[in-house]
Amino acid sequence: MPDLEPDKTLDCIGLFCPEPLFQTREQMDSIKVGEVLEVLADDPAAEEDIKRLVKRTGQKIIKFEKKENHIRFLIKKLQ
């Protein structure tokens, strides 16, 4: 399956908790239902924080990757 092209990318590399979480929430609010947000972060806390945020807000992580020095989420807005 080819990689989905995100509608918007949020680069949180270099930011620490709770900044990646706040910015992810803000960006999710700004995109339309059906669109995909790519989030890049290197704060270890961001992995759990963002997974919880997505679950709590009823969105869906369609891809999660741990790269060498950062993590990457593709989050689809469902509602």
Q: Which one is catalytic: 15, 17, 31, 40?
A: 17
Structure tokens of 24?
Answer: 């992810």
The verdict on whether 17 is a catalytic residue reads yes
State residue 73 phi and psi, 5-degree precision.
Answer: -115, 145
Catalytic residues, which ones?
A: 17
